Structure 1
Amino acid sequence: MDDFARLLKESWTLIEQHRERLSDHFYARLFLLDPGLRNLFPVQMTGQGDRILEAIVTASQTVGDPESFDEYLRALGRDHRKFHVDAAHYATMGVALLDALRSTAGDGWNLEYDQAWRDAYAAISEKMLAGAAADENPPYWHAEVLTHQRHGSDTAVLTCRALQHPLPWQAGQYVSVEVPRHLPRVWRTYSVANAPNDDNVLEFHVRTPGAGWVSGALVRRVKPGDLIRVAAPMGSMTLDRSSDRDILCVAGGVGLAPIKALVEELASYNRTRWVHVFYGARTEADLYGLAALRELVARHPWLSVTPACSEDPDFDGELGDIAEVVSRYGPWTTHDCYVSGSAPMVRATLRVLAADDVPPERTRYDTFGSI
C-alpha cells in the first residue's frame, strides 16, 4: 500500500499545477462519451470542476488509510445521490478521468502511474457506490424557508423545515444546499447551526462578501415560504460523548454555525465539562451571533464566551485575531478542541493548539469558503 500511495502522490505532482487544464479535458471527454450527463451539471460550470477534482484528489490521498478511506468515500457516495449518479456514470467518469490525467501529465506519465490511478478509481467508485446503495434516505430533502434575518449587507441567518421525511444529522455536521428557483443543480455546503430537534428545523448562517452563487441567493434573494433542497449530512466535527475532558470551541465569522450547534447539543446533557467558546470577527457589528451565545451563557453555568475583534479598536472586549486571543488564555493541552472558520483562521488556531501540545486526535475542525 505504501508503494501504491507513493505512485498516486508522485504522479499528482505532474498535474497539480494544471488543474484547470485537467478539468477542461475531463468534462470535454465526459460529455463526449455521454452527452446526457451534461444535464446533471449546472448551466454555468465555473467552479464545478474544482470541487469534483478536490473530491477525487482527497479520495486518492486517503487510499493508504483504510478506515478514513472507507468512511469518507461511503459518505461521498451518499452525498452524490443528489446528482442522480448511477453505476454506469461512475464507469464513464473513470474513463474520462484517466484520459484527462494522461493528457495533462504529458511525457512524465507512465504505465505504473496509469495502473495506480485505475486501481485507485476502482476502489473509490466501489466504496462510493456501496455508500449510496446502503443509504435508505432520499437523495435530498425539500425544505421550506421559515425565517430569514439579515445582518448587515452580506450575512443572513435563516431557518427551514425539512418536509415529508425526517432529516437525521449530528451537531457539528454540514449539508449541501441547492436553491432550485435561482440556481438549479448548483450545490454549496453549509454547517447546520442548531442541534437536532423533533421539529425537523435546520438553521444556517450564510455570508457572501461578493456576488456569490448559492450564498448570494441565500442572503439576498431567498425569503420565507421559498423551497430549497438539502442533501444528506456529512462531516466528523461532532462531539465525543465518551470524553470527560473540558472543551475549547473557536469560531470565526459564520464559522460560529457548527460551534453553536455543538453548544446546543451539550446543553441537552452536559453537567460536568467546562466549555469555553472564543468567537472572533473583524468588528463588533460582525459578531452577529453574540447575543444568542450570551443567552446560552445565562442558562448554563459551565459555559463561557469570549468575543474578540481584530479591526475594531473601540470594541469593549478582547482585541486581535481570534487565534492570538486563544493563545493568551492557554494552554489548552487537556481539552477537546473544535475550530471553525476561514482557512487562514483555522490554520492559525491549529498552530496555537500544536504549540500547546494538544494531541491531534483531540482537535476537530472545519473551514469555510465564501462562494
Structure 2
Amino acid sequence: MDDFARLLKESWTLVEEHRERLSGHFYARLFRLDPDLRNLFPAEMTGQGDRILEAIVTAVQVVGDPESFDEYLRSLGRDHRKYRVEAAHYETMGVALLDALRSIAGGAWSLEYDQAWRDAYAAISERMLAGAAADDNPPFWHAEVLTHQRYGADTAVLTCRALQHPLSWQAGQYVSVELPRHLPRVWRTYSVANAPNDDNVLEFHVRTPQGAGWLSGALIRRVKPGDLIRVAAPMGSMTLDRSSQRDILCVAGGVGLAPIKALAEELASYNRTRWMHVFYGARAAADLYGLAALRELMAAHPWLSVTAACSEDPDFDGELGDVPDVVSRYGPWTTHDCYVSGSARMVRATLRVLAEDGVPPEHTRYDTFGNL
C-alpha cells in the first residue's frame, strides 16, 4: 500500500498545477464517450470540475489509510446518488479520467502511474457503488424553508424542514443543497448549524463575498419562507467523540461558525464534565452575526466559554487580531480535542498554531471552505 500511495501522489504532482486543463479534458472526453451524461450536469459547468477534482484529490490523499479510504468513498457514493449516477457511468468516467491524466502529464506519465490509477479508480468506484447500494434513504430530501434572516448584504441564516422522510445527521456534518427552481442540477455543500432534532429542521449559515457564488447568492437574496429546496445525504467526520474525556477547543471564522454551533448544541444535550472553549473571529464586529446565539448558549451552560475576536476593527470591545493568533495567546491546548472551521487561510493558520503547541494530529478535526 505504501508504494501504491507513493505512485498516486507522485503522479498527481505532474498534473496538480493544471487542474483547469485537466477538468476541461475530462469533461470533453466524458461527453464524447456518452453524450447523455451531459444531462446530469448543470447548464453552466463553471466550478463543477473543481468539485470533481477535489473528490479525486481527497481520495488520493486517504488511499494509504484503508479505514478512512473506505468510509470516505462509501459516503461519497451515497452522496452521488443525488446526481442520478448509475453503475455504468462509473466505467465511462474512469476511461475519461485516465485519458485526461495521460494527456496533461504528457511524456512524464509512466506505465506504473497508469496501473496505479487504474487500480485506485477500481477501488474508488467499487466502494462508491457499495455505499450507494447500501443506502435505503432517498437520493435527496425535499425541504421547505421555514425562516430566512439577512445579516447585511452578504450573509443569511435560514432554517428548513425535511419533508416526507426523516433525515439523520450528526452535529459537525455537512450536506449538499440544490435550488431546483432557480439553479437546477447545481449543488453546493453547507454545514448544518444545529444539532439533530425530532422536528427534522436544519439550519444553514450562508455567505457570498462580494456577490460571488451563484447558489449562495440565490440562498441569500432570492429564497424566502415557503420555498422548496433539495438536501442530499450528510457527509463529514468533524463530529464529537463521545468516548473522549478531554475538554474541547473550537475555532470558527465567519460562517465557519455553523458546525461549531451544532457541536455546542449537541454537547449541551449530554455534557456534565467537559469544558468547551469557542473562539469566534471575523474582520469587524458587524460580521459576528452569530455571536448573540453563542452567548445565549453560554448563559445556559456554565461549561461553555466564548471569546470573540476582530482583526480589522480597533473599536471592537473584545480580542483584537486574527483568531489563530488569539487562540495561541490562550493556550496551551495539548489536552483538548480541537475543532477548526473557516476559510482555508484561517484553518491553515490555526492548524499551524495547534501543531506548534504540540496538539497531537489525531486530536484535531477541521472543516475548510476551499483547498488547504
TM-score grouping bracket, smaller chain normalisation? over 0.9
Q: SS of 1:185's equivalent?
A: strand
Q: Deviations 1:323-351 (Å, cap 9, x if unpaired)?
A: 11111111111111111111111111111
Q: SS of 1:225's equivalent?
A: coil
Q: Deviations 1:255-291 (Å, cap 9, x if unpaired)?
A: 0000000000011110111111111111111110111
Q: Deviations 1:342-369 (Å, cap 9, x if unpaired)?
A: 1111111111111111111111110125
Alpha-carbon distance in 2 for matches of 1:91, 1:328: 52
Partner of 1:352: 353
Question: Residue type of the partner of 2:80?
Answer: H
Partner of 2:227: 226
Q: Does 1:309 align with 2:310?
A: yes
What are the within-5 Å matches in structure 2 for residues 230-309 of structure 1? 230-309=231-310
| Alpha-carbon offset, residue 113 of structure 1 | 1.3
Q: SS of 1:235's equivalent?
A: coil
Q: Deviations 1:283-308 (Å, cap 9, x if unpaired)?
A: 11111011111111111111111111
Partner of 1:170: 170
Structure 1 segments, 4+ long, off by >3 Å, are none
Identify the range of structure 1 (14-23 vs 194-203) with the bigger mean alpha-carbon deviation: 14-23
Alpha-carbon distance in 1 for matches of 2:305, 2:239: 20
Q: SS of 1:194's equivalent?
A: coil
What are the within-5 Å matches in structure 2 for residues 83-232 of structure 1? 83-209=83-209, 210-232=211-233
Alpha-carbon distance in 2 for matches of 1:161, 1:12: 41
Q: Deviations 1:39-63 (Å, cap 9, x if unpaired)?
A: 0001000110111011112212322
Alpha-carbon distance in 2 for matches of 1:358, 1:112: 38
| Alpha-carbon offset, residue 78 of structure 1 | 0.5
Alpha-carbon distance in 2 for matches of 1:65, 1:77: 18
What are the within-5 Å matches in structure 2 for residues 328-367 of structure 1? 328-367=329-368
| Alpha-carbon offset, residue 181 of structure 1 | 0.9
Q: SS of 1:276's equivalent?
A: strand
- Provide the alpha-carbon RMSD of the alignment: 1.1
Question: Residue type of the partner of 2:332?
Answer: P
Alpha-carbon distance in 1 for matches of 2:283, 2:13: 37
Alpha-carbon distance in 2 for matches of 1:301, 1:142: 38
| Alpha-carbon offset, residue 11 of structure 1 | 1.5
Change (3 A) 1:17 1:102: same
Alpha-carbon distance in 2 for matches of 1:296, 1:233: 25
Q: SS of 1:120's equivalent?
A: helix
The percent of aligned pairs where both chains have the same amino acid is: 88
| Alpha-carbon offset, residue 107 of structure 1 | 1.2
Alpha-carbon distance in 2 for matches of 1:75, 1:301: 36
Alpha-carbon distance in 2 for matches of 1:303, 1:60: 38
Q: SS of 1:156's equivalent?
A: strand
Q: SS of 2:205's equivalent?
A: strand
Alpha-carbon distance in 2 for matches of 1:33, 1:194: 43
Alpha-carbon distance in 1 for matches of 2:296, 2:61: 43
Alpha-carbon distance in 1 for matches of 2:242, 2:7: 39
Question: Residue type of the partner of 2:168?
Answer: P
Q: Deviations 1:122-177 (Å, cap 9, x if unpaired)?
A: 01000000000011111110000000000000000000000000000000000000
Q: SS of 1:258's equivalent?
A: helix
Q: SS of 1:306's equivalent?
A: strand
Q: SS of 1:59's equivalent?
A: helix
**TM-score, normalisation: structure 2:** 0.98
Q: SS of 1:57's equivalent?
A: helix
Q: SS of 2:255's equivalent?
A: helix
* Paired positions, count: 370
Alpha-carbon distance in 2 for matches of 1:211, 1:114: 38
Q: SS of 1:14's equivalent?
A: coil
| Alpha-carbon offset, residue 319 of structure 1 | 0.5
Q: SS of 2:346's equivalent?
A: helix
Q: SS of 1:270's equivalent?
A: coil
**TM-score, normalisation: structure 1:** 0.98
Question: Residue type of the partner of 2:221?
Answer: R
Alpha-carbon distance in 2 for matches of 1:286, 1:72: 33
Alpha-carbon distance in 1 for matches of 2:177, 2:78: 15
